[in-house]
Amino acid sequence: MNCRHCHTALQHPFLDLGHAPPSNAYLTAADLARPERYFPLRLWVCDQCWLVQTEDYAEAGELFDAEYAYFSSTSSSWLEHARRYAERMHESLGLGADSLVIEVASNDGYLLKNFVAAGIPCLGVEPTASTADAAERLGIPVLREFFGEALGRRLAEDGRQADLLIGNNVFAHVPDINDFSRGLKAVLKPGGTLTLEFPHLLRLVELVQFDTVYHEHFSYLSLYSVERILTAAGLRVRDVEALATHGGSLRIFACHQDDERPCSAAVDAVLRAEASAGLRDLAIYSGFQARADRVKDDLLGFLLEQKRAGRRVAAYGAAAKGNTILNYAGVKPDLLPWVFDAAPSKQGKYLPGSHVPIRSPEELDDVRPDLLLILPWNIADEVMRQNERIRQWGGRFVTAVPTLEVK
């Protein structure tokens, strides 16, 4: 396998999670009687551009199909994050009725609805039918296609270039990251602004966030690798911000290379922090497997201990990261009989691999678990606020990453 960006032959493994089903391939009751697809889930690091990437195994279309069940609007904290961003961009860029905002991977319209409400023309690009349907019901025009250079050029030729081009948590999801970046270059208007948000590789390594590894994430991104990728496409990173979302993310601001706006000092500061942490040194990657295994072993040991003690454990959040850790640990319904999730699209289905049944949060009162394992630990505070009532019967919350903690 070669690097997806610089095509260097990959020789350095980073993480091996064995084989697992696609993390968002939720199952119906009928599916339980059918064979389930498993793919290798392994990461490699390129020693030239330092892009971390999954091992090649499948086409993207096998992962993002019509039944794809991730809806961004399920999380209230993410909706508020999107609202604040839209308000800031509206004001700082002077967007108005003559502007165009394009979001790549616009999901269910969680973000663009804010621009629609402000009277700013927008366009979503979203290949997944279920989420595109939801966005269109909000009055957001959606192109149901995978984004790449061909689509970016076609939009530019049609006179639809973006004053603001947005990609939230999509840059890591594309198998051909160079083609995708050239598409961003093509569809960005001269003088326009591109923002990309993505989980920061530095946080993954520091906080042992190995459960953020899943098949839909083809790449794991540092600012160093993103800057190289965008530069090769004719774009320039001019600013960067650290975000708390998804356990620690970056938001980069980019423009065309000939844009007159200067680069901020924050870009060099983040690059220095990455270098100081060792992200351009193989040693930090070679020791990660053992750290991930400790987190997995601690969770499995905890669940076995609770079963022997007769305590009832349930999970909250049928999230992709939860599927990664449960499948790697080999957890089944005997250790974790239920997972509760607020997304109606997931309720009544089963987690891939582990086959834990997904139930509505309203049913928590029927089960009354002693312990509630929060699988999407990045929104643990939100989950605890929404489900504080479990403390009435002595229930407590648990998170497993970066270390097991009972709250």
Measured distance CA(204)–CA(402) in Å, rounded: 10
Please report the pLDDT score of residue 182 as a whole number.
98
All structural domains of the chain with their residue ranges: 72-277, 288-406
Q: Kindly calculate the radius of gyration of the chain based on its CA atoms and give it in whole angstroms.
A: 21
Please report the pLDDT score of residue 370 as a whole number.
98
Please report the pLDDT score of residue 63 as a whole number.
58
Nearest-5° Cα angle at 290, 279 to 171: 45
Please report the pLDDT score of residue 56 as a whole number.
80
Topology adopted by domain 288-406: Rossmann fold (3.40.50)
pLDDT digit string (tens) for 147-199? 999 999 999 999 999 999 999 999 999 999 999 999 999 999 999 999 999 99
pLDDT digit string (tens) for 263-322? 999 999 999 999 999 999 999 999 999 999 999 999 999 999 999 999 999 999 998 999
Residues of the chain where predicted confidence (pLDDT) is lower than 70: 57-70, 73-74
Please report the pLDDT score of residue 68 as a whole number.
55
Q: Which residues contact 116 (CB under 8 A, 6 or more apart)?
A: 122, 138, 139, 140
Measured distance CA(323)–CA(302) in Å, rounded: 17
Please report the pLDDT score of residue 183 as a whole number.
98
Give which of 187, 100, 92 is closest to 148, Cα–Cα. Answer: 187
Per CATH, 72-277 and 288-406 having the same topology is answered: yes
Topology adopted by domain 72-277: Rossmann fold (3.40.50)
Measured distance CA(74)–CA(248) in Å, rounded: 19
Alpha carbon distances (Å) from 284 to 21, 254, 289, 331: 28, 29, 10, 28
Please report the pLDDT score of residue 77 as a whole number.
84
Please report the pLDDT score of residue 305 as a whole number.
98
Please report the pLDDT score of residue 245 as a whole number.
87
Measured distance CA(55)–CA(68) in Å, rounded: 22
Helices in 278-319 by DSSP H: which ranges?
Answer: 282-286, 288-308
Q: Are 108 and 71 in contact (CB under 8 A)?
A: yes
